Structure 1
C-alpha cells in the first residue's frame, strides 16, 4: 500500500499488538519500538517524521499519531496529523477507521478487533475477569500490569513475543495463537498462581469509602494476575488505585481505574491524572510521583475521589 515505510512506536499491550498487526498488514511499517507513555511525555523518546505513534501522548515532529485518550484532547491543540477519537474503544479502532477498515482489511480481522476494543476499553463481564479465555486471556497476558514479565524468565522476552505475534495474528485464529508454546507458557503461569494472587490482593487492599487502594510497595513478590480482579473481591467499591514503584524506584506509580462491575464512579480519571503530570481516559489513567511527594499526592487523590463519589 505504501512505498515509504515508517517505524511504529506504541505500547507493549493488546492495543499495541493489534495496531502493529494492522499497519504491518498494510505494509506501512518496517520497525517497531515499544515505549512507556510517561517516557513520551518526558521527551525521552526521539520522534521524527519517520514515526507513527499509537495509544501514546502526542510528540511534535511525528508523521502520524493515532490515539483515543481523553486527556490528550485537553493537553494538545488540534493538529492534522493527530488522529484522535476519545469515543473510540481503542487506538487500534482509530487506525482501522482511518484506513477504511471494512474495505481494506480481511473479514477474519473482526474478532481480533473486537478483542482489542474489549481489552482497551475494559468492557469485561464478571465471567471474563474470573475465567478469561480467547482474546480476553491474551490481553491479560500482554498487559504489563498483569506482572508475568517480572515473575520469571521465559524462553523468549515479551518484546520478542510481541514481534512474533504481530505476524502471527494476521494469519491465525485465537485458539491457534493460545497454543503457541511461548504463549502457552504464559497461560500456564497465569493460572498457576491464581490463588496466591487473590490472597495477596486481599491482604494489600485498604478501603476508603468508594475507593479501593492496592498498595504493593512493601511486597517482595507480586503474584501475577489481572488488574480487574479487585472489583470481584471488593464489589462495593467503584474505583481503585494500584500503587507500586516505577522502574527506577525513586518514583511511585498511581495506576487508577474505575470498577467495571460497579459503574457508579463520577471521577474523570484522565483529567485528575493530568493534574499530576500523568494522563488517561475518563475511566482509567495513571501518574508517576517522586517518592518524597507521593504520600501528599495520595492523600489528595483519596480526598478528590471520595468527594466525587
Structure 2
C-alpha cells in the first residue's frame, strides 16, 4: 500500500520524501501548515504518513523531532515516532528504518591521475559504479571498518584490470 505523505514545505520534508519514496511507502504528497494540522483543519486518516508536523492521532504514522510535541502529546502513541534529540524528522525516519550506511566515492575533479577503479572497489562491498565513481551500502555496525578499508583501497594504486580480478 502506498500512503499519502502530509508534510510542510521545507528541506527536511524533501529528505523525508526521498527516504519514504525509496522505501516505496508513499505515492502522493500534500503540503500543509503545522498549525492547520494541530487545529484539525487538515483531514488526516489511516492512509497518511506525517513528517515534521504536529501529531494527528488518525494518521498511519507520524515522524517528528520537535520537543514541544513530546510535551503536547506525551509521545506515547504507537503511531508517533518521535525523537526530540534528532536534528530533523528525516533523521528520525533514518533511525527508525535502520538503513545502511551509504558510501559514495569518486576521483578528484582536480587531480584525475588516480588509477584506482572505483566501481571495482565498490563492487567488493556489494555496490558498483564506474572507473571514476561508485557507491555501496553496508550495515551500520560495519561502517567504521569499511570506511578505513575504502580509504586504504582508494588511496592505493590499482590498475582497472588488476582490481577486477580481486
Instruction: Name the TM-score class by shorter chain.
Output: 0.5 to 0.7
Partner SS state of residue 54, structure 2: coil
Judged with a 3 Å threshold, the aligned counterparts in structure 2 of structure 1 residues 107 and 31 are, in CA distance, closer, same or farther, namely farther
**Equivalent-residue separation in structure 1 for 2:93 and 2:55 (angstroms):** 15
Q: What residue is the counterpart of 2:99 in the other structure?
A: 101
Partner SS state of residue 71, structure 1: helix
Structure 2 residue aligned with 1:38, among 15, 28, 35?
Answer: 35
Partner SS state of residue 48, structure 1: coil
Give how far 1:24 is off: 0.6
Judged with a 3 Å threshold, the aligned counterparts in structure 2 of structure 1 residues 48 and 107 are, in CA distance, closer, same or farther, namely farther
Structure 2 residue aligned with 1:27, among 24, 27, 43?
Answer: 24
When the two structures are superposed, what TM-score results if normalisation uses the length of structure 2?
A: 0.60
Pairing of 1:19-168 with structure 2 (within 5 A): 19-77=16-74, 78-102=76-100, 106-108=102-104
Q: Which runs of 5+ in 1 are unaligned?
A: 109-309
Give how far 1:96 is off: 0.6
Pairing of 1:296-307 with structure 2 (within 5 A): none
When the two structures are superposed, what TM-score results if normalisation uses the length of structure 1?
A: 0.33
Give how far 1:90 is off: 0.3
**Equivalent-residue separation in structure 2 for 1:61 and 1:39 (angstroms):** 15
**Equivalent-residue separation in structure 2 for 1:60 and 1:91 (angstroms):** 18
Q: Which runs of 5+ in 2 are unaligned?
A: 105-166
Instruction: Provide, for residues 181-214 of structure 1, a one-character-per-residue CA deviation record: whole Å limited to 9, x for no partner.
Output: xxxxxxxxxxxxxxxxxxxxxxxxxxxxxxxxxx
Does residue 15 (structure 1) correspond to residue 12 (structure 2)? The answer is: yes
Partner SS state of residue 24, structure 2: coil
Give how far 1:42 is off: 1.1
**Equivalent-residue separation in structure 1 for 2:67 and 2:14 (angstroms):** 21
CA RMSD of aligned residues (A): 1.1
Partner SS state of residue 100, structure 2: helix
Does residue 6 (structure 1) correspond to residue 15 (structure 2)? The answer is: no
Partner SS state of residue 6, structure 2: strand
Q: What residue is the counterpart of 1:298 in the other structure?
A: none
**Equivalent-residue separation in structure 1 for 2:11 and 2:103 (angstroms):** 19
Give how far 1:23 is off: 0.5
Structure number, greater radius of gyration: 2
Partner SS state of residue 40, structure 1: helix
Pairing of 1:202-241 with structure 2 (within 5 A): none
